[in-house]
Chains A and B, each alone.
Chain A
Amino acid sequence: MINIDGLSKSFGSIKALDNLNLNVKKGELLGIIGPNGAGKTTAIRIICCILKPDHGDVMVDGYSIHKDPLKIKSIIGYLPEEPNLYERFKARDLLKYFSELYGVPRADINPRIDELLELVGMTHRAEDRINTFSKGLRQRIGIARALVHDPKVIIFDEPTMGLDPATSQTIRHFIDQLKGDKTIILCTHYMDEADQLCDRVAILNHGRIRDMGTPHDLKSKVHADIILTLRVKNPLPSDQEAISGLTSVEAIEIGGDKYIISLNSRKEISKIIDVLGSRVLAVNTKEPKLEDVFISTLENRGMR
């Protein structure tokens, strides 16, 4: 559905995108994660034909950004980080304005707006002005605005940035509802969000894709299934050898009295504790997260 081919873009001496290549399949939800300044927003703006690349091309549903930008714009729904809505408009009028700009047939506009207002839970605020809305409500209207022309592709840039947990969860719920029916690109800083929603995740840094795969595949690249963290009294040099000898232990990292052990199986946790005996002060286990993958990817490439 979306094919990014050798995309480069510079702002003065700063290279925002450096030969970026990426494919998004029809109906897929692709997450793009990366640190600030990685090039996420630039990539998105180029896909939406807001910016023009220095080199490379993007094909969206068979249309090139160079030849058919208006076609591409008409099949994309875009929600920027800040919804940036016209403050003086009433919610319904705003959706009507954008429906007309997108060329939605007149007869379909009002039913479509009603449907979207219901989807985002804003029916009761339809006649209120945008400047009376909180950030969360604006984001809801922003989502409705992005969907007003029933686009094939939807692009969300940090849709839950700065929102409280409950509103973030509601927004994630909207995105989840769209999954499968639409092709979606989701740029986010929140690894949990990407993990929860995305079919695939691309890690972007310095304008290039550093790693890409399903959240599970990415997580398995970094760690085993479990990470065991122990605090030990009087650590001994022989401890590392004794623990590494156990079959399910993938890696061990010792820093002072803190042992971080990657395991494939929970079964050997008790054996490790037996090795250390009464010197164990605290035990903590956790499953690896996408955040660990992200940090690890950046660390491996010396980019932090």
Chain B
Amino acid sequence: MNFITITRWEFKNTIQSRKFLLIFFLQISVLFLMLMVFNSFAQNMENNEALSITPSLSGFATLDVNDQGALFSKRLNSEVLNIENSTYQQAWNRLARGLTTGFYSVPPESVELVQNGDQVETVLYLDYRDPKRSVVQEEVNSTTRALSSALTTSYLESSRPQNATKPPGVTQTTSGESVPLQIIRKVMLAVLLFLPLFLFGNLIIDSLVGEKERKTGEILVAMPLTSADIIIGKSLAVVMIMALQVGMWMLILLAAGFSLKNPGFVYLMVVLTAIPLVGLTTIIAAYSKNYKEAGIGLTFAYVIISGILIIPLLGYISRQSFGANVSPMTLVMRIFSGEIIAPAEILLSLSFIVVFSLLSYGISVALFRRDDVVFGPRPGILRIILDLMGLKRHKNRSK
């Protein structure tokens, strides 16, 4: 359990370091700034005052609609959807030719049904080959909810005495954000929460490469510690610092009025994600001779990590595939969306974390165990890969 001693001292020294505290509070300031800008941006979008710098989804997808009463079609967001009035047959032909993403059919007697207080059953047909289908689906659902909400409000307004005033403390809220805003808000929140994991990667670099550059590593290796003690001890300290920062960011987001559903689970997922992420950074730190090399390696690592986290998330937005849950960021975004996550999906994400962690820490320990990697002359990457794969036997390993 010697790694705990290393973790405790590394954590204590980092927290007490003025340089670290400065970075720590600088990051929190940046978060505040981002929240302010984001809130203002979201408000502008809601008020249709978004600036031209925001990505436009105008004409993003085409939807054929059969709604003679125009009860639903006039409420569909024409900034996102190109709406084509079609008959059933026309719509099928267009779907078959890939000219439209879906067909939304509303009963001709919809207006009468609403007036009688009866349920209106609408049908949405989607082309599942088209990745834009989820946006169309969200937009239709959003319109349905908005219309339902509008009818409910109208009903409530009609039953309310006209001269009644709102009791103190009661505010009127609206529901049903536009699809782009929903996507941006969910993805943005998920990205914000994962951001601290990228901001502290330099800590493990400093912790391990610093030992080589300052030549304190020689003394550390001369201690009655295994390579695993050193690697795990130092990595764990960085994970703890990340956990602290993520916790603070979540509190700030909550204080700023963001709704974080299931915060305990979200926190756990983000912190668990930090473990393999630090592991990958540790591989780079264990192999690098100096800060310059480590910096280059870190850039590559972050590109890989971003890809692993964000690509499945975007994949889920477009296709909602099971495999996209491999990224913990996808799970977090789905939690924010209020979706129910199946145990198998959580298991997939956790399995990814465990496998990636075992692999990354295994490689880091194997590298740090080699005296030629730590003290030189350092072998090339290809030779190390061959050694790790057992294709070439290496003699100079210490415990």
Question: Chain A interface (Cβ within 8 Å of chain B)?
Answer: 11-12, 45, 48-52, 54, 69-71, 73-74, 76, 78, 80, 82, 84-89, 97-98, 100-103, 145
Contacts and interface: CB of A to CB of B under 8 A. Distances in A.
B223 to A, nearest CB: 5
B2 interface: yes
14 contacts: A11-B377, A48-B222, A50-B221, A51-B375, A52-B396, A70-B224, A71-B224, A73-B223, A78-B222, A84-B216, A84-B219, A86-B216, A89-B13, A97-B5
A59 B102 CA distance: 79
Interface string B370-399: 010001110000000000000000011111
A195 to B, nearest CB: 28
B215 A84 contact: yes
A11 B91 CA distance: 75
Interface of B: 2, 5-6, 9, 13, 17, 214-216, 218-219, 221-226, 371, 375-377, 395-399
Contacts of B218: 45, 50, 80, 84
Given A52-B398, A97-B9, A80 B223 contact: no
Contacts of A145: 219
Nearest to A66: B399
A12 B377 CA distance: 7
Contacts of A50: 218, 221-222, 371, 375, 398
Nearest to B371: A51
Nearest to B210: A86
A85 B399 CA distance: 23
A49 B222 CA distance: 7
B255 to A, nearest CB: 33
Given A73-B222, A73-B223, A103-B224, A52 B215 contact: no
A49 B225 contact: no
B224 A73 contact: yes
Given A84-B214, A84-B216, A69 B223 contact: no
Nearest to B18: A88
Contacts of B377: 11-12
A69 B371 CA distance: 14
Contacts of B375: 45, 50-51
A74 B226 CA distance: 12
Contact of A51 (B2, B6, B226, B396): B396
B16 to A, nearest CB: 8
B371 A52 contact: yes
Given A11-B377, A86-B216, A76 B398 contact: no
A122 B132 CA distance: 72
B226 to A, nearest CB: 7
A52 B225 contact: no
